[in-house]
Amino acid sequence: MLRLYDTRTRRPETMVPENGRAVRVYTCGPTVYRFAHVGNLRSYLLPDLISRVLERHHVRAVVCQNITDVGHLVDDDAIDPTGEDKILRQARAEGRSALEIARFYEDAFRRDTAALNMRAPEHTPRASESIDLMIELIAKLIEMGHAYAVDDGSVFFDARSFPSYGEISGNRLDALKPGHRVEGVDPRKRFHADWALWKGTDRDMTWEAPWGRGFPGWHIECSAMSLRFLGEHIDVHTGGKDLRFPHHEDERAQSNSAVGHDVVKHWVHGEHLLFDGRKMAKSTGNVVLLSDVVDAGLDPLAVRLAFLEHRYRQQMNLTWETLHAADRTLRRWRQRVAEWAESPSRPIAADHARRVQDAFDDDLDTPTALRVLRELERDESVAPGSRFETFLHLDHVLGLDLSADIGRPPAVPVLPPGAAELLEARAKAREAKDWSASDRLRDELAVLGVKVTDTPQGQTWS
């Protein structure tokens, strides 16, 4: 069965469904005020892989992924009711309504995840359409003594009412220091580590609540929606590493306090993605969207393959060179699968398939799975029909559309820009017996993805 590294227990745990039939998975969804970059998208591959691997074990995954379309401040750590909502800020910048902004970027996110072959979750609740659930949960927490309202209509969670706070991130309450805001600790709080469940204000995108008009805190959204759509027993909660604290710590405290037991059985987090060695940010100019990859002439599933080359909880440095290499591998595998499809069908290569499945089960060790596939691709002792069946069998988890070229006429190879000139220069170097120049030009062509072969009739390329 699938084993995943549990952030809270600090060890791999077997994913055994609570009810024996389905694994309930909650994943923190996007805040829809801008296009998701490829670093954001990597986080959503994790629940997709979990679902696909569980399916191989005849276990259904029920996934809930929220849509944050309200209440997420530019600086959530400040808990400032006058602070600006990211969606409102973007709406003003683009001259559109907040609803138009949210739906536009939500649709864009769905197109991107679909292009990466990420299956649509069973539940995708929007925060703006779940306000009643949040108000109901906040009222319950107040009634149980875990939260308190203040004069301006805000409501705070009493962090000291939840003794096991910090089990996910290691940030214990007795070690947390007040934030370094200019005005010091918020005087409305009983304890500096308390956080806002509701933020009292009369700005745009607010709702009436028993304690005053305002909008929900970011953390309460996930508690309310996960409890509503998956119930009080959730098998796996995923998210990026950056969400461990404070978001997941706060979410765990809220949900557990409301129902009286641990709601989430396993917490699983993915690592950050860098691009060209740096964190993606507008300030550094290295934000890459999936549309940028497509505009560069690459298949969007090359991004998925590049992600699979690294384990989900390993920091990954993505580069354009990496993406081009993944695109070449993807196209080669599709071509090989189409060629093998012409041979008589044979049973799957059982040993290779077992090793790949073992890698998937071992905390989603996708790099090892891909190494086994490359080994199988080169293994001429395995019949073509068997390689065909094995690649397609494993593609149910890989999600790379490896059968895409079956039935298509062979593609006419097209040289990348600059390659024709290099080939001509290399032919002249060989005529002049300038072997060092010939070798150098061969290396330059290889960087462009062009393989040169010398024959008695001259050089050929592919």
CA–CA gap between residue 157 and residue 161 (Å, rounded): 8
CA–CA gap between residue 323 and residue 321 (Å, rounded): 5
**C-alpha dist (Å) from residue 50 to 43, 114, 159, 215:** 12, 17, 32, 33
Q: Reduced to 3 states, what is the DSSP secondary structure of residue 458?
A: strand
Question: Do the annotations mark residue 28 as ligand-binding?
Answer: yes
Q: Reduced to 3 states, what is the DSSP secondary structure of residue 153?
A: coil
**Tokens read off for 259:** 């129902």
Q: What are phi and psi of 74, to 5 degrees?
A: -60, -40
2, 57 contact by CB (below 8 A): yes
> Is cis: bond before 121, omega within 30 of 0?
no
Question: Do the annotations mark residue 428 as ligand-binding?
Answer: no
- What is the DSSP track for 199-239? EE--SSS-B--TT-SEEE-HHHHHHHHHHHHH-S-EEEEEE
Q: Which of 61, 89, 68 is nearest to 4 (CA)?
A: 61
Q: What is the CA radius of gyration of the chain?
A: 26
Question: Do the annotations mark residue 55 as ligand-binding?
Answer: no
362, 53 contact by CB (below 8 A): no
How long, in residues, is the chain?
A: 462
CA–CA gap between residue 289 and residue 300 (Å, rounded): 10
CA 431 to chain centre: 52
Q: For residue 170, is it left (φ>0), alpha (ψ between -120 and 50) or beta?
A: left
434, 424 contact by CB (below 8 A): no
Question: Do the annotations mark residue 251 as ligand-binding?
Answer: yes
CA–CA gap between residue 377 and residue 165 (Å, rounded): 49
Question: Do the annotations mark residue 37 as ligand-binding?
Answer: no
- Burial class from Cβ neighbours inside 10 Å (0-12, 13-18, 19+) for residue 107 reads exposed
Angle between helices 366-378 and 320-340 in degrees, nearest 10: 50
In DSSP terms, which residues pair with 5 in a beta bridge?
Answer: 12
What kind and span of H or E run contains 278? Answer: strand 278-279
303, 204 contact by CB (below 8 A): no
Count other C-beta atoms under 10 Å from residue 19's C-beta.
Answer: 10
- Per the listing, tokens 């939500």 go with 106
Q: Give the residue numbers of the binding site for ATP.
A: 282
Q: Give the residue numbers of the binding site.
A: 28, 222, 247, 251, 282
Q: Give the residue numbers of the binding site for Zn(2+).
A: 28, 222, 247, 251
